[in-house]
Amino acid sequence: MRYPPIDPPESSSSFSEASFNRMAEALLAREGFAGVAAIAAELVGARVEILVPRPGSTGTRGTVAERFVAELVAGGLPPWPPGVTEVVPIVVGGEVQGAVVVSGEIDEGGDEHLRSAARAALTGIAILDTREEARRDQASGLIADLLAGRRLRAGDVAGRASRLGCDLDAGFVALTVDGRAERGGGDVAAVVAAVHPEAVVEVVGGVVHALVPGAAVDTALLEERLGGAVLRAHSSTYADPADAYRALDEARALLALLHGVEVPNTDRATWDSLRVMHGAYFTDPDRMRDFVERTIGALIRHDEDEVGRLQTTFWAYQEANCNMNVAAERLETHRHTVANRLRRIRELTGLNPQRGFDRDLLGLALRAHLVIENSSPPPG
């Protein structure tokens, strides 16, 4: 009889990222452990069950496999049932909470997919264990009140958060996650609450919002639990609870800018420039708007009738390290078309995208425009 190691794998090489993302998406689509098992069965070519006894259940009324897993969870080492060929324990905090059970020979490389299923099950357990807590926080309405523009003093924000076990006085970060409005975002909120149990978590407009005490969010654990395909963004670190609305708006603006971006999160340091711009916009919105209008106002108005074609070309040119041939390939157009569009940008703004300083100024102004377009007006 062979039991895999109790501790879940830590290296990304020990499970398939692609299969894990599929399984995490199935959980967030409310397909449950059955959906994860179906994906695993398809990938390994054998029957797969994911069995997680709920607290208080002995499994005595279940199937042979369910009774077997219940005994595992209770701390026993029972013999494998007839026909079972693989068992991968699902471990939380060093304790077995369930198992992935396989009947039949698996295809080559199937071990990785089974480990993916065990790791995805951790997300499922988090959803089951924290759904009620997430609903409780959601019912508090603090974040909804802030986003609705209600003027709350720092003491009111800190006090309401404190009653939910969230201490904002030592600093905090705002987090937003694509809650997939068609499902209400409840399960995504449950995962966020499991990763940061001390946070205030609410779903507003299909987006999961959280105020997370401390200097940072656990980006690695969020990616592990949610998968790499779920859009999420976090704000700068704030010290004053009076800035909770500003932090939430910053995270929401960054989340909006993630659509169409290759990496669906704001973990990389390159996003800090947009966080700084959001801060500048909230501090002096008129000055920021004036800068954008003077620098690229004519370009923005021209692009309204062109579906953003000139802006898209500029960013493709930037990402191609100013290589027109590469930019043309990315845009699926001709090199001369890219050259003509860059010339048109110069005519509209007086700035040459092919010159270093001019290009930097264009990029700065276009980023400022994106921040303004995706932010709420700063409170008066």
Q: Are residues 146 and 230 in the same domain?
A: yes
DSSP 8-class letter at 4: -
What's the pLDDT score for residue 7? 39
The pLDDT assigned to 313 comes to: 94
Is pLDDT at 284 greater than 80 in this prediction? Answer: yes
Q: Which one, of 32, 19, 25, lies nearest residue 116 by Cα?
A: 19
For residues 262 and 150, membership in a common domain is answered with: yes
> pLDDT, tens digit, for every residue of 298-350?
999 999 988 889 999 999 999 899 999 999 999 999 999 999 999 999 999 99
Task: Tell me which of 100, 129, 158 is where a domain ends.
Answer: 129
Q: How confident is the model at residue 273 (pLDDT cuts 50, 70, 90)?
A: very high
pLDDT of residue 57: 58
User: pLDDT-based confidence at 184, cuts 50/70/90?
Assistant: low
Q: Quick one: what percent of the chain has pLDDT higher than 90?
A: 60
Average pLDDT rounded to a whole number, residues 251-255: 95
Is 319 a member of any domain? yes
pLDDT tens digits, one per residue of 136-147: 544 468 999 999
271 falls within a domain: no
Helices 309-319 and 356-374, packing angle to 10 deg = 120
Confidence of residue 250 (pLDDT cuts 50, 70, 90): very high
The predicted pLDDT at position 165 comes to 87
Domain total of the chain: 3
Asked if residue 102 lies in contact with residue 86, where contact means CB atoms within 8 angstroms, the answer is yes
Say how far residue 379 (Cα) sits from the centre of its chain. Answer: 27
Provide mean pLDDT across the span 284-291. Answer: 96
Q: Residue 126 pLDDT > 60, yes or no?
A: yes
Mean pLDDT, the chain, rounded, equals 87
- Residue 25 in any domain: the answer is yes
Does 252 share its domain with 148?
A: yes
Q: Which residue has the higher pLDDT, 177 or 135?
A: 177
Q: Is the pLDDT of residue 12 over 50?
A: no
| Sign, Cα dihedral of 23, 27, 29, 32 | positive
**Residue 155 in contact with residue 162, Cβ under 8 Å?**
no
Residues 314 and 222 in one domain: no
**Same domain? 150 vs 258:** yes
pLDDT score at 4:
36
Is 2 part of a structural domain of the chain?
Answer: no
Domain of 359, CATH number, reads 1.10.10.2840
Give a yes or no: residue 347 inside a domain: yes
Query: 184-198, 228-242, 299-313: which range is least confident on average?
Result: 184-198
Residue 364: CB atoms within 10 A of its CB come to 16
Same domain, 188 and 262: yes
Q: What is the pLDDT of residue 11?
A: 43
Of residues 130 and 200, more confidently modeled: 200
Residue 127 scores a pLDDT above 80? no
Residue 92 lies in a domain: yes
**CATH number of residue 157's parent domain:** 3.30.70
Q: What is the CATH number of the domain that holds 37?
A: 3.30.450
Lowest model confidence (mean pLDDT) among 105-119, 128-142, 231-245: 128-142
| 106 and 20, same domain (yes or no) | yes
* 195 and 303 co-located in one domain: no
| Pairing of the two strands 84-92 and 95-103 | antiparallel
Percent of the chain having pLDDT more than 70?
A: 89
Name the residue range of residue 188's domain: 141-266
Would you say residue 3 lies in a domain?
no
**Predicted confidence band of residue 264 (pLDDT cuts 50, 70, 90):** confident
Residue 280 has pLDDT above 60, yes or no: yes
Domain boundary among 129, 158, 186: 129
**Are residues 122 and 161 both part of a single domain?**
no
Beta-carbon count within 10 A of 31 CB: 16
Which is higher by pLDDT, 37 or 151?
37
Q: 134 in a domain, yes or no?
A: no
At residue 93, the pLDDT reads 78
Per-residue pLDDT band at 15 (split at 50, 70, 90): low
Name the phi and psi angles at 5, rounded to 5: -55, 145
Q: State the average pLDDT over residues 123-150.
A: 73
Final residue of a domain: which of 129, 155, 186?
Answer: 129
Residue pLDDT, tens place only, 350-372: 999 999 999 999 999 999 999 99
Same domain membership, residue 246 and residue 291:
no
Same domain? For 262 and 146 the reply is yes
- 166, 188: one domain: yes
Q: What was the pLDDT predicted at 380?
A: 61
Q: For the chain, state the CA radius of gyration.
A: 25
* 8 A C-beta contact, residue 211 and residue 179: no
pTM comes to 0.67
What pLDDT score was predicted for residue 232? 94
